[in-house]
Chain A
């Protein structure tokens, strides 16, 4: 038996494109807008969410038969909160500058709709292995969009990638800046993320018309 059956593979691949949490389900938009001005922050955010969602899904899945359904939201919150605190502490310990940039948004992973959504929709009804794959798949789908948005925003807004200048130095005018190019201040501000996400949604749906909703 292969490690991943066809059904299991779909659990990971579906959320990457045709069932993407951000562009199709339109969940987790707030953090996608807030922290994607830099690529590094986007990647760290994606990894954090992957950890929380992957582990959280497994925990909820294991507990799914003992959680009374009346208080399941509270139990879910406790699990997420515990995991988020771990992520927050790790970031503060090993990447303090970065945790400054991400600021409150690490804490706000708790309220990320994707996480509660996957707990409710998937982990409560499936076994731990499948739940784990589902968590990884969805957080990958989330992360892909974050990285794409972060890539364009950092490249066009600051002329850097992961903090390294790739277009030259804007102050002494080298590289592309020597030709008169300037950074686009609009890409730094959050509304630009909304527009970039919108363009991704637009491109995706025109490639695959089956995704377009009926009015």
Chain B
């Protein structure tokens, strides 16, 4: 590979070979020892790999969960649930391998192909940005998403969401969410309803329509039940712990709040993701949830209202169900599309949580709004930063006006410095 890289140096295909090279090896050309260079090991590749490491448990869990939901929907939920006996089984894992792994492979294959093509056309290096996107995408789509659909969406998301803006680091919108939004608007029947979240549900529905005598597989998500005011029916299937551990239907990787929490802690302690965004997003969703709970308690929204189910849902449980936790931990914290200033991060995160829960409750077609909320705030992040920076300048200008500027004395450097740094 080293030789190939040198052989193709300066040729048109060079970026492609360079990319393979850096992906597989550590670079063989390093900065020479002379001169003063600070060499940090935390390059983009390291950052991306850390996020992927945080995603691996979620992926493994989702592979088991895909099988667990499939068999539970066919055979009924096990009476005395035991983790080893009913969840971590080869049968379950096999469904995961058959259904989830192809999503991952297609997402990476198509996405990296697009990146390579663009790198060769534009003659720049392939950036590592897609490594995380490619892992996020399979985790935020329903398990039965057709692979060609995913490919189309990935091409769209990478080209329109990222490459037109100049590639990794220049994008306004999170590419993974662009892909999800494209799928949602392009193929709504595959992205919502009660037939897409459990593997086999759609197939079974078609067979029944063709005259097969069998029970329909219902794979409604928790939010789906609530949106139809079927909270009681929902709680007969799933209790709060199921929601926390993640033994519920949903998009591939979004279900386990527990593993996402672990991943989030890992990202915070490795200083890859911003804890400010996570904390403020959690606060935002709690506040909005509390407001809705108050509205229900005051009796403004009665039991007959279409919003009753979701509005009356205890406010802290919003964090356990749907994609809220996943979105907050892995996607709101995207350093490129989020706010850059510390105060901006608080505002940005808070609004993501706040708007997510709001869309969740008020969207009649689809009881989930995390991806829409994050995309919306992606668009506003530069504006937030702009005002935060301007506010800071204003504050300091005021301070400067009130400050006593000490007479400049060329001998006392210290005082001069003081006046300048006020």
Contacts and interface: CB of A to CB of B under 8 A. Distances in A.
Interface in B152-207: 152, 160, 164, 182, 185-190
A189 B182 CA distance: 12
Q: Main secondary structure on chain B at its contact with chain A?
A: helix
Nearest to A195: B160
A182 B149 contact: yes
Contacts of A185: 185-188
A182 B152 CA distance: 12
Nearest to B182: A186
Interface of B: 146, 148-149, 152, 160, 164, 182, 185-190
Nearest to B152: A184
A185 B191 CA distance: 12
B263 to A, nearest CB: 31
Contacts of B160: 195
A178 to B, nearest CB: 14
Contacts of B187: 182, 184-185
A70 B185 CA distance: 49
A202 B186 CA distance: 23
Query: Interface SS of chain A: helix, strand, loop or mixed?
Result: helix
A30 B300 CA distance: 42
Interface in A164-213: 180-182, 184-187, 189, 195, 198, 202
A198 to B, nearest CB: 8
B178 to A, nearest CB: 11
Contacts of B188: 185
Given A195-B160, A202-B164, A186 B148 contact: no
A187 B185 CA distance: 9
B364 to A, nearest CB: 17
B69 to A, nearest CB: 23
A180 B186 contact: no
Contact of A189 (B146, B185, B190): B185
Given A195-B160, A202-B164, A186 B146 contact: no
Contacts of A189: 185
Given A180-B146, A184-B186, A202-B164, 11 more contacts: A180-B148, A181-B148, A182-B149, A182-B190, A185-B187, A185-B188, A186-B182, A186-B186, A187-B186, A189-B185, A198-B164
A125 B148 CA distance: 55
Contact of A186 (B185, B189, B190): B185
